[in-house]
Amino acid sequence: MTLDAVLSRIDTDLDAATERLLDLLRIQSISTDPDFKADCGRAADWLVDDLRSLGATAEKRPTPGHPMVVGHIGEGSPHLLFYGHYDVQPVDPLDLWDRDPFDPQVEDTPNGKVIRGRGASDDKGQLMTFVEACRAWIAENGSLPCKITFFFEGEEESGSPSLIPFMKDNADELKTDIALICDTGLFGDETPAIVTMLRGLLGEELTITGPSKDLHSGMYGGVSMNPIRVLSKIIAGLHDSTGRVTVPGFYDGVPELSDEIRAQWQGLGFDHGAFLGEVGLSAPAGEQDRTPLEMIWSRPTCEVNGISGGYTGKGFKTVLPSKASAKISFRLVGQQDPHAIRESFRSYVEAQLPEDCSVEWHGHGASQASQMEIDHPAFEAARKALSDEWPQPAAYVGCGGSIPIAGHFKSILDTDAMLIGFGKDDDQIHSPNEKYDLSSFHRGIRSWARILDALS
């Protein structure tokens, strides 16, 4: 069979594929720091050269920030787009790394070999799993089984300011039958996953002002309104005794799980005790009528991320502050409208302000959730292909975080996206000593080869 020959080629060429990844990892493509602008350009050039070595037509496309890489190869159907990002997070604090983060190596650990270095898991290692699968397919058969567009970004770790304008300007070129994203992970160590739900995100910062200046608590305490007390009461009322959010209309557009997905999730055997125990907790604190996995993947949240006001230095100062501030984030699901929730939350707060208090607002982004339509035939084909490669059958899962690119594919290109990744929870992405298991890299390449075969 053609697929068997490709898988054998991947096994034989693993050392060479690993060396190519190590070469890419040596490039210090930190997108958020202007000092590394040239390095981001070098990473884009590296990818262009690598794609051209496969026979693809590939270019580095300029943007107001870091360049995009776009390449095309193959013919026929389906037409697939593969997205990844070549930029990485800063390495601080450097003193917590066990080695130079841009001198990557394969290391032996008690749990097997790992590729250690910044970007190993997020996202260079994941990106290269797909490229290497294409390389093996071409080496074995002379061509790919379908048409593929590569789309690599250099600003994902710095907010993607150039992404939406670029996608809109190049929509005709980037529109495909389905998009593939490799920036997620496994469920556990041996269960592959296709992410079908991504939560949206709304950020709000509010500052409540009472008196015109800080006041002496002995002279003004009791008779004057304290903004910290006002803010604390508002925050305390954001959840009822069962853990539900009390902002009016907050649950509008929140869907219920299908019986099929609920059964899949129950079959995963998620150990919430161990999950919470790793961070020194024991009891789930959210909606009491929901399972922990539901709360993490498919339910919306309201969380206080920071509070400030008054004197917080060493010692003690008996002051009544003039101002008190909080940063509050909402993770959104389904069809929740972030703009409607922003308006409702602000009205909720303003209705509780006592006389002599005012509020100032500063919004921090508003993105809607993404939910993939798994009735697209590509989803079940990919799930079966993944199940053939890994010890445990693949599952459709949710993701508590937000990956805006998936929603952009749908809203800008009208293209459904599949999120398939091979990272692990202990990969320490964004942290010192980031790693990517060599087995994740190897099996990830084999998985994409199987998916290419299944989709074609």
Q: How many residues does the chain have?
A: 456
pTM of this prediction?
0.86
- pLDDT per position as a tens digit, 317-326: 999 999 999 9
The average confidence (pLDDT) of the chain is 96
Nearest partner of 80 among 380, 325, 382, judged by Cα: 382
Query: Which parts of 41-177 are beta strand (E)?
Result: 57-61, 68-73, 79-85, 105-109, 112-116, 147-153
Confidence band, pLDDT 50/70/90 cuts, at residue 236: very high
Give me the pLDDT at residue 49, please.
98
Nearest partner of 102 among 168, 29, 45, judged by Cα: 29
Give me the pLDDT at residue 1, please.
56
User: For residue 166, what are the CA distances in angstroms to 47, 87, 417, 438?
Assistant: 18, 17, 18, 34
pLDDT > 90: percent of the chain: 94
Give me the pLDDT at residue 371, please.
86
Gap between the Cα atoms of 252 and 344, Å rounded = 12
Q: Average of pLDDT values for 135-150?
A: 97
Q: Average of pLDDT values for 364-386?
A: 92
404: pLDDT strictly greater than 90: no
Gap between the Cα atoms of 101 and 121, Å rounded = 13
Contact 179, 378 (CB under 8 A): no
Give me the pLDDT at residue 139, please.
97
134: pLDDT strictly greater than 60: yes
pLDDT > 70: percent of the chain: 100
Q: Average of pLDDT values for 1-27?
A: 96
- pLDDT per position as a tens digit, 277-297: 988 999 999 999 999 999 999
Distance of CA 379 to the CA centre of its chain: 20
Give me the pLDDT at residue 365, please.
85
Contact 192, 126 (CB under 8 A): no
374: pLDDT strictly greater than 80: yes
Q: Which domains does the chain have, with CATH numbers?
A: 2-198+370-455 (3.40.630.10), 200-254+300-367 (3.30.70.360)
Residue 141: CB atoms within 10 Å: 13
20: pLDDT strictly greater than 70: yes
- pLDDT per position as a tens digit, 173-229: 999 999 999 999 999 899 999 999 999 999 999 999 999 999 999 999 999 999 999
37: pLDDT strictly greater than 70: yes
14: pLDDT strictly greater than 80: yes
Contact 57, 71 (CB under 8 A): yes
Gap between the Cα atoms of 65 and 164, Å rounded = 12
Gap between the Cα atoms of 194 and 121, Å rounded = 17
Confidence band, pLDDT 50/70/90 cuts, at residue 159: confident
- pLDDT per position as a tens digit, 40-54: 999 999 999 999 999
Contact 186, 441 (CB under 8 A): no
Q: Which residues contact 232 (CB under 8 A, 6 or more apart)?
A: none
Look up residue 18 and give its two tokens: 């690993």
